[in-house]
Amino acid sequence: MPEIPPISHTARPRLGFLGVGWIGRHRMNAILKTDKVDIVAIADPSLETAAEAGRSAPDAKLVSTLDELLDMELDGVVIATPSALHAEQSIRALERGAAVFCQKPLGRTAEEVKAVVAAARRADRLLGVDLSYRFTEGMRRIREVVRSGELGHIYAVDLTFHNAYGPDKPWFYDPVLSGGGCVMDLGVHLVDLALWTLDYPLVSDVSGKLFAGGEPLGGRADRVEDYAAATADLATGATMRLACSWRLQAGCDAMISATFYGTDGGVALRNVDGSFYDFIAERYRSTARETLATPPDDWGGRAAADWAERLAAGEGFDPEAERLVDVACVLDRIYQR
């Protein structure tokens, strides 16, 4: 492995983007708005897609592969490619001295996630994953209330993410390429929100049931789940219930919520009128409720912008990245891996 150069604390970080479909372009624009970095290279298998993204960063060189990006000795790489590629591409970038911001999931299994985190630690490079719901104003407020202890002992967490649609790319439905279905796509956000809010308690037991097309998935290796229900018991004595799906007959575009019940009150994040983007956060006391946060809230690109700003400030490896493994381990146990 080549020697990794030291982190620069003076020059603006030079970034490359690998994969610039809709989400990659959205994260690019959020990072550009920080005005803390320079985007110098864009790679995508589609030259047309790369050129479209290049209109936002006209000085960026358009290339085709990760190798071409890394040959430009970048300070950071933003990865928005199919899930099967995330771990390997992240490790290659980190080993070449580039910090990484990757779409979720960071890996298809806990083993893959552990390997990426280990590479970031060895390289002393900042590793970020686009767990974007953490950055909603509602979840930030909820976490503050839970961590304050004002709700007493948190004993139950209910998590929901039903999407009336499904992914439009075939690789999402291939277990080898995706690592899983709606749990990998949506459930990762729910598990992350719960553990992040509760300060990562030990997860003592996990059980789950997966469905595909309305039937139990069983041990089939040729399909991914489109509905999942899971329960996790925490070492604190709390229980966590999760449900997520694609194409559920839900009567609206989406049903998204994270609710925390304590002995002295509760808090909840929930989407408004089936929206994927608008959320309200509330605090509950018996039959009364208090509003903590309401739309509008332009949260979608905050995780990417936060990573870019931290990179520009000269930050290296953050031990908090180890917590990505905790989330991945829960997903593995839902899948009985």
Model pLDDT for residues 90-141, shown as the tens digit of each residue:
999 999 999 999 999 999 999 999 999 999 999 999 999 999 999 999 999 9
Give, in degrees to the nearest 5, the angle at Cα 337 between 78 and 222: 80
* pLDDT number for residue 3: 60
pLDDT digits (tens, 9 = 90+) for 205-240: 999 999 999 999 988 889 999 999 999 999 999 999
* pLDDT number for residue 220: 85
Q: Which of 44-53, 105-114, 143-152, 314-323 is predicted with the least confidence, judged by mean pLDDT?
A: 44-53
- The predicted model gives 15-28 an average pLDDT of 96
Choose between 260 and 8: higher pLDDT: 260
Question: Strand, coil or helix: what is 272?
Answer: coil
pLDDT digits (tens, 9 = 90+) for 290-311: 999 999 999 999 999 999 999 9
pTM: 0.95
* pLDDT number for residue 10: 55
Distance of alpha carbon 313 from alpha carbon 13, whole angstroms: 9
Closest CA to 269 of 293, 299, 296: 293
Work out the percent of the chain whose per-residue pLDDT is above 90: 94
* pLDDT number for residue 11: 85
* pLDDT number for residue 219: 82
pLDDT digits (tens, 9 = 90+) for 25-82: 999 999 999 999 999 999 999 989 999 999 999 999 999 899 999 999 999 999 999 9
* pLDDT number for residue 132: 97
Helices assigned H by DSSP within the chain: 22-34, 47-54, 66-70, 83-95, 110-123, 137-148, 175-178, 182, 188-197, 302-312, 323-334
Work out the percent of the chain whose per-residue pLDDT is above 70: 97
Question: Strand, coil or helix: what is 317?
Answer: coil
Q: Which residues pair with 284 in a beta bridge?
A: 266, 289
Q: How many helices (H) and strands (E) does the chain have?
A: 11, 15
